[in-house]
Amino acid sequence: MELRELSVTGAWEITPRRIADDRGVFHEAFTDPAFREMTGHRLDLAQVNVSVSGEGVLRGLHYAEVPPGQAKYVLCPSGTVFDVMVDVRIGSPTFGEWSGVILDAAEQRAVYIPEGVAHGFLALEPQSTVMYLVSEGWRPGAEHTIDPFDPKIDIDWPAMALDGTPISHVMNERDRTAPSLLDAAAAGRLPQWDDCVAHIERLREATPQVDALWRPGD
């Protein structure tokens, strides 16, 4: 696997090695050694979620309260999405910054989104399927949203679908009326960087020693 750290601290892009023959293609979508090399801790897998979206569907930006938060290892087995993560951790060195990665069936890249980072995606073709390996299940009242079109974040969402047609965004009411980053901060709803760091350190203490490529504060 090829690992690339993204501009949002603690977030990663994972590109698998694909093996093709006359039967088709094989790749390892997730391995524990590669994950521990990235993060310095194991992934506590609590749930696997799958969503299927039509062209133009925009889901997000979503995040969970920390602790415990909800880390996500996100893949796109079918179709194509523009996957986005936004650092909403108050006090983080990359607070307010975003990273975007194309996830598709052709390359089978994945992204890892740590606790305290908001996540969303835009489907660029019909029947785009996204799979999430998550560290915690859904907790009513502890899941929040941020406006994906907040000008302060200024995400460069694609304007065209893969077939070249203009995208008409399809969103649910909760995402469409989500607060801005600053409004969420003023309401005290955003995660604190120190809480996220402490959570990661607890995970590392419970994980056999590995050489990590990133540690909070680096």
Active site residues: 62, 132
- The CA distance from 170 to 54, in Å, is 9
Contact 153, 115 (CB under 8 A): no
The tokens describing 61, both together, are: 């930006």
Query: Radius of gyration of the chain from Cα atoms?
Result: 17
Residue with structure tokens 């690992």? 3
Walk across the sheet containing 117-123 and list its strands.
98-104, 80-87, 117-123, 58-64, 143-145
Cα 159-97-218 angle, rounded to 5 deg: 145
Neighbours of 217 (CB within 10 A): 8
- Phi and psi torsions of 183, nearest 5°: -65, -40
